[in-house]
Amino acid sequence: MSSADRRADRRVGVWLVGARGSVATTAVAGCAAVAAGLHPPTGMVTETPPFLDSGLPALSSLVFGGHDTAACPLPKRAEELTAAGVLPHGLAAAVRTELSAADAEIRPGGPAAGDTRTDEELIAAFAADLADFAARRDLARTVVVNVASTEPVPGPDDVRLPPSSLYAAAALRAGCPYVNFTPSTGLRAPALADAAAASGLPHAGRDGKTGQTLLRSVLAPMFVQRALSVRAWSGTNLLGGGDGAALADPAAAAAKNAGKERVLAETLGRAPEGEVHIDDVPALGEWKTAWDHIAFDGFLGSRMILQTIWQGCDSALAAPLILDLARLLARAHEAGLSGPLPELGFYFKDPDAGPAALADQYAALLAFATRLRNAR
């Protein structure tokens, strides 16, 4: 058996923070479906030719667990997503065994209402859950991925770490690579800077780029490259589900919008007029509509407008990216890489470093695939 074959046989943990949410459920069900050949790997960049010989763990080798404060079991959540049109009819039943196995590995998150534990006690408990998971399931390594609801940016006088940072600190303590797919603070809490630097662990984030900002990162370079002056760029998001409810909080929405605005400011060289508004529309359920209105000047000052409409399902857009990132971080950890991985900026609104334009980010990702291919 070759070293590549032996590596593919090693099981890799994927620990999802927010493990009973829509994105996590779709990722677990989707992984099982693709691994079994029930559906093609649509949306998974790591299943395209440039990545096939980069030593990534096989989808069949991924073992799921996680933390959540919700109680709805994954098989039931998958049935709800089927009714909402997110998962195809019959898939929840076809992968029920895999969903039940993942659900059995979900541990209580926190801090929940009335939880009197200190930050240190919570971090220790979460890290112990990760260590127990790795030991019981005989895992080569575990990647922690935050897919929980967006939290507000912590205030300057807050004396406690936000929940996302508690989970990130636990990942460091347990020796796990970390991905922050949300706009929440995570590893970017100043109190975690030294621990993150000393950990020797690879990490990536923040805020997954799945819809409106993905399109912005393609369109904005077009205006720059064609020397067209953007006067204003406004946007509106209409969404329901858990994300809509969470982002109805202005503080949480502000955290989300910061990444959207960053792409335009970095690509255009300045922040154009206009804002992004997020509206909670419960009737939309798991679906969202994103609308952009771009006012720009052409030759001799002629005024023009471009409008775009993006309609999609966030869970179905995000799930393949979660699987990509878990595999890439696992391979990076195996290869001995550490610190932030700017080459993975392709996946994020607010990456640790690197270019903002999608084409440049994709080129960096392809170079990263080559780096992994050549790693030990």
- Determine the pLDDT at residue 251: 66
Confidence of residue 240 (pLDDT cuts 50, 70, 90): confident
- Non-local (6+) Cβ contacts of 237 within 8 A are 212, 276, 277, 278, 279, 288, 289, 290
| pLDDT (average), residues 83-94 | 96
Confidence of residue 3 (pLDDT cuts 50, 70, 90): very low
Q: What is the pLDDT of residues 100-130, one digit of tens each?
A: 999 999 999 999 888 999 999 999 999 999 9
Confidence of residue 1 (pLDDT cuts 50, 70, 90): very low
Q: Which neighbouring-strand residues pair with 144?
A: 15, 178
Confidence of residue 248 (pLDDT cuts 50, 70, 90): low
Q: What is the pLDDT of residues 56-82, one digit of tens each?
A: 999 999 999 999 999 999 999 999 999
- Non-local (6+) Cβ contacts of 376 within 8 A are 335, 336
Q: What 3-state DSSP class applies to 82? A: helix
The span from the CA of 291 to the CA of 336, in Å, is 42
Alpha-carbon separation of residue 47 from 54, 135, 177 (angstroms): 11, 29, 21
What does the buried/exposed string (b/e) look like for 164-194 if buried means 16 or more CB atoms within 10 Å of the residue's CB? bbbbbbbbbbbbbbbbbbbbbbbbbbeebee
pLDDT at residue 348 tops 90: yes
- Non-local (6+) Cβ contacts of 143 within 8 A are 12, 13, 14, 15, 176, 177, 178, 179, 325, 326, 329, 330, 333
**Using CB atoms within 10 A of its CB, is residue 309 exposed (0-12), middle (13-18) or buried (19+)?**
exposed
- Non-local (6+) Cβ contacts of 221 within 8 A are 267, 357, 358, 359
Q: What is the pLDDT of residues 95-107, one digit of tens each?
A: 999 999 999 999 9
